[in-house]
Amino acid sequence: MALSGPRRKERSASRGPPARRRTSFLARNIERWQELLHRLGVAPETDTFYRLQSAYSQKHRAYHTSRHIDECLLLLDEFKHLGKYPAEVECALWFHDAIYEPMSKSNEERSANWVAEFGGRVGLAPEALARIRAHIMATRHVALPADDDSRLVVDIDLAILGAVPSRYDEFERDVRREYRWVPGIVYRQKRAAILQSFLDRPRIYHWEPVYGRFEGNARSNVSGAIQTLTGGS
C-alpha cells in the first residue's frame, strides 16, 4: 500500500538464495513452492523461488517482506475454497510484491512482467498466465476487480487492514519506514488520503467470508490511523 497511490513494488532481484531471512522463509515455503508448480502443471524448479526470496529480503523493505507473503499464504489456506483456480491465486500472491520500489509507479506492472517471464519459461498455459497477471495488476487497488479470483487476491492482500490492532499498528510503522525519506507533513497527508479512500468504499472486502472476518476491524483500524495522521481526536 504505497504512499503515492495504492501500493508499489521493488528492485530487480538478485539470483540465488540470500543469507538474510533465509532459514524461516526457506524452511516454510520451498516445499510449498514445488507443490504449487505441480498444481500449475509445470516442471519443478527452484531458481525463481530463490530470486523471490532475495527480493522479499531487500533492505529497503519493512512491510513488503517474506512475512507478508507468509501471511497471505496462510490466509489463502483458509479461503482457497472460494477460488475457481486456487493455484493461480497462490501464484499471484507469491509474485504480487516481487518488485517493490517505493518511489515507483510501475511496481505491479513489473511484478506482472516477472510472472509472465517465469510462466513463459516453464510452459504455463497462456490463459492461466493471463489470469495471474490480471490478479497482480488488481493489487494496485485502484478499481474493483472484475474477476472473482482477482477479488480473492485483493481481499487477502488487504487483510492486514483488518488485523488485530497491535499487528495493524506494526504495519503502519513498517510502511512509514519504507517511506522514511518523505517529510512527515507530506507523508501524513498522503497516507491519510490513501487510507480514506478505503473507508470511502461501500465495503473494503469483496468475498463475504473475508468481509465478515475483517471488515469491522479494518474500518476501526483505518479510522484510528487517519485520526493519528491528521491529529484528530
Cβ neighbours, 10 Å, residue 25: 22
Instruction: Write down the residue that cell numbers 483488518 correspond to.
Output: 162
**What pLDDT was estimated at residue 10?**
37
**What pLDDT was estimated at residue 196?**
98
State the total domains in the chain. Answer: 1
**What pLDDT was estimated at residue 118?**
97
199 within domain boundaries: yes
11 within domain boundaries: no
d(CA 60, CA 178): 6
Residue type, 115: V
pLDDT along the chain (233 residues), means of 10: 40 38 64 96 94 95 96 96 98 98 94 97 97 97 93 98 98 97 96 97 97 98 97 67
Cell numbers for 4:
503515492
6 within domain boundaries: no
121 within domain boundaries: yes
151 within domain boundaries: yes
Burial of 191 (0-12, 13-18, 19+ CB in 10 A): buried
> Domain of 34?
22-230
Burial of 186 (0-12, 13-18, 19+ CB in 10 A): exposed
Instruction: Select from 61, 40, 77 the least CA-distant residue to 179.
Output: 61
132 within domain boundaries: yes
Q: What is the dihedral of CA 87, 91, 96, 98, to 10 degrees?
A: 160
**What pLDDT was estimated at residue 144?**
87
Burial of 187 (0-12, 13-18, 19+ CB in 10 A): middle
DSSP annotation of 81 reads G
> Which pTM value belongs to this model?
0.88
**What pLDDT was estimated at residue 11?**
37
**What pLDDT was estimated at residue 52?**
96
**What pLDDT was estimated at residue 26?**
66
100 within domain boundaries: yes
Q: CATH code at 131?
A: 1.10.3210
147 within domain boundaries: yes
**What pLDDT was estimated at residue 28?**
75
Residue type, 93: L
